Structures are given as C-alpha cells and as structure tokens.
Structure 1
C-alpha cells in the first residue's frame, strides 16, 4: 500500500461544494497506478465558508479517500509542528506539499519561510526516515500581480525552494520539486484570483502527477478531464 498525504493551505483543503485537486489526483492514480494506494492524513473535511470553520463534508464527489493535512489560512509555519505526528500516525510514504502563499502573505519572509521548509523536512524524516516528498512552488495569485513587493517575495521563495529541494534530496528519502503548471492562469483557473476552479484543480493535480511520473516512474502521465 502506497500512502500519499496531501499537505497544504486553502488551495488543498478546498471549500464546500468543490471536488479539490486531491480528488482529481485520486482519479488519476486509480486510472494509472498499478497497485494499492490511498490518500492519508489526520483531517478529512472541507472549509465551510459560511461558518469559517473546517467542518464541511459537502464534497462535489464525496466517495474517495478524503484524508489530508491541509487548512484554510495555514502555511509552512503551521504545518511544520504537525508533520511529524501526522506522518507517524498515518505511516505516509509520499508527502504532496503545496504551501507558502500564506506564509509570505502574513507570517514570514522568503528566507524565513525557507527555513521552515528545512525544519518541515527534518521533522517528516525524523518520523519516517524513508518518506518521499513532492514540493510544489508557490503559484502566484492576483496579489502577486498587483503588489510588486509580494510578487518579488514569491519569486525569491520559489528560487530558494528549488535550491533547498536539491540540497535536501537524498537517495533514501528523495525530494522532487514539481514544476508549476505551465498554463496556469489565475484569471481563468481560479474563481477569485487565488483558489482553483475545476481547471485549476486539474492543473495542480497534474503538476504533482507529472513530477512523480517523470521523477520516480509512479503511475502515468496526467490526462486532465473536465469531470
């Protein structure tokens, strides 16, 4: 059994009524991975915008392994203290991590955020020495376009993340840096300039899928649908 843990912020947890990229990736793995697998994590819910709480189970398609470690408004700074326990509890084999926008927007600069990435990796490995990780760079949102200083921090962090992924990559616990979806456009692939719509969900799922296929030979190439 190969256990994948999605780790992320609001773009990963999703909100009531959505499929989420987690569902899109699960569908892809069902179609292309030859072996047992599951999505794991200590949480299952979506974010309920009406109550501003992570309490919704109103998935557009609820019949899939909904487990994850993601939260609305959470970043590397929040997940680093949690990742060790989550990995030990679930025995996760592969972490699929999409974090950073919240950190840079509200908590830490690019260099500080990169330090939290390093702490996150160390904690995950302490819990499970052979854990594998796929790290997705921050996908710029509308704020990165309208605020030059914030956009510069996103660019700098993504440069630092690439160097950190290369520095920390180990044969026994490999780290892949996923390529940002090349055609991702927040004008078309989000519903509010940040959070993915169906197109965006497919492109994020595809970024993780392509990284694992090209880097490790896991599953197959991603074929996005519109479901």
Structure 2
C-alpha cells in the first residue's frame, strides 16, 4: 500500500504534491528506505518512480506487516528525526502473520517504540481498507472488522496531548474495483484517495496543510 511498485507514483508522492502547495512551513518525507517493489525480482530494488523528483524516503515494505515495522520504527524515528509518522495498513497486516488481537498488540508496541525515540512524535493511522479478500473471504472480513474496532479503541487509549494519535477515516468513496489495479494495491485514483484521507485528517485535527485537491 505504501512502498509502491515499479512505475508508480505512490500515495506518498500525491501527499507530497499536496503539502508542497498547502503547507505553510518547511517539510520533507523521511525514512531509511527509498526503493519500490520490483515485480521482476520480487524484491525492493527498483527506483523507477513515475516521477522520481520528490523526497522518496519511507519505511515500508512489500510483504511486510506491522510486526515487521515495530522493531524498526524506533531507530527510523530517531535517525530521521521524524515529527509525524503515517501508517497505511493493508492486507498483509492481518491476512498472513497475525490475527486481530495480535495486530492490536503490535499497535501498542509500535507507538511505544516511536515515542521512546521521539517523545513528541505524532502518529496518524489509516485502518485496513476494503480489498478483494474481504469480499471473497468472510472469515478474513470478520478479522478486518474486529481489528479496525480494536484499532479505534487502542488509538483512543494511547492518545496523549504531547504525542497525539490520529485515526484517519478511510476514504468513503474508495472502491477496490476501480481504485486498485489488482484488488488490493492502489492505482492513480486510489493513490489520490489515500493521500487525500491523510491530508484531510491532518488538516482538520492538527491544522497541518489544508483541504486536499488532487494535483
């Protein structure tokens, strides 16, 4: 959902475009990684962005879920001096490695590690949005619903004035039939909708940026 694949812009790029126009202060995207997933090698080895001229840094992985990111987030936040962490959850966070309760535990560990590295860090999290497996697998759909409920409660429990957490409402018009290229990963319209959801939430809750307009 976040790393993107060779030839894509990614929603990170769409958000960067928006913030360049709307944000009144200096900013950049940060993270220890820059690559895209390369379908030819099935590895994160590509730099073939549709438009490479933007801050490509991130902390995301193809096939990596929240449990893989939790041990990495502290060092990433510390070394990159991140002020805001954006998390877009996908199929991998529930469909392969962990169930709803285990993934909710990863939320707490992830936030704790980020705060230990930078006590005033802000974290914005978008729940797992509807994808093709939700439609095809009723058991998995139930896990997604359970986790999204647990996520909302966990974010509310962990929210703190010095280090606010923000649950980003999924884009209401997002439809995996038309906003993805394979039922899961966003195409151009999906990228804009995910970026717009983050942008609108940060603007309304934290006064960062402004209303989203697709560039």
- TM-score, length-scaled by structure 1: 0.94
Name the structure 1 match of 2:77.
Answer: 87
Higher-strand-fraction structure: 1
Tell whether the 8 Å contact from 2:86 to 2:125 is kept in structure 1 after alignment.
yes
Structure 1: give runs of 5+ residues left out of the alignment: 1-10
- TM-score for the superposition, normalised by structure 2: 0.99
Instruction: Point out where structure 2 has 5 or more consecutive residues left out of the alignment.
Output: none
Corresponding residue for residue 52 of structure 2? 62
Tell me what 2:151 maps to.
161
Aligned equivalent of 1:7: none
CA distance in structure 2 between the aligned counterparts of 1:140 and 1:116, rounded to whole angstroms? 21
Tell me whether 1:215 sits opposite 2:179 in the alignment: no
- Residue by residue over 1:35-75, the C-alpha shift from the partner in whole angstroms, topping out at 9 and shown as x without a partner, is 10000000001000000010100000000000000000111
Deviations 1:72-121 (A, max 9, x none): 01111100000001011101000001125213111111011000010000
Following superposition, the deviation at residue 224 of structure 1 comes to: 1.9
Match status 1:173 vs 2:180: no
Separation in 2 of the partners of 1:97 and 1:25?
A: 13
Alpha-carbon separation, structure 2, partners of 1:62 and 1:204: 20
Q: 2:99 aligns with which of 109, 113, 132?
A: 109
Q: Aligned pairs, how many?
A: 215
Is it true that 1:44 corresponds to 2:57 in the alignment? no
SS of alignment partner, residue 37 of structure 1: coil
**Paired residue secondary structure (2:25):** coil
Mapped to 2, the partners of 1:216 and 1:23 lie a distance apart of 21
Query: After the TM superposition, which parts of structure 1 deviate over 3 Å for at least 4 consecutive aligned residues?
Result: none
**C-alpha distance in 1, partners of 2:194/2:203?**
14
Contact 1:76 1:100 (C-alpha < 8 Å) held by counterparts = no
CA displacement at 1:201 relative to structure 2:
0.1
Tell me the C-alpha RMSD between the 2 structures: 0.7
Are the equivalent residues in 2 in contact too, given 1:202–1:224 (CA < 8 A)?
A: yes
1:9-36 deviations in whole A, cap 9, x for unaligned?
Answer: xx10000000000000000000000110
1:77 paired with 2:63, answer no
Provide Cα deviations, 1:129-170, integer angstroms capped at 9, x if missing partner. Answer: 000010000012100111000001001100110011110000
Alignment of 1:31 onto 2:24: no
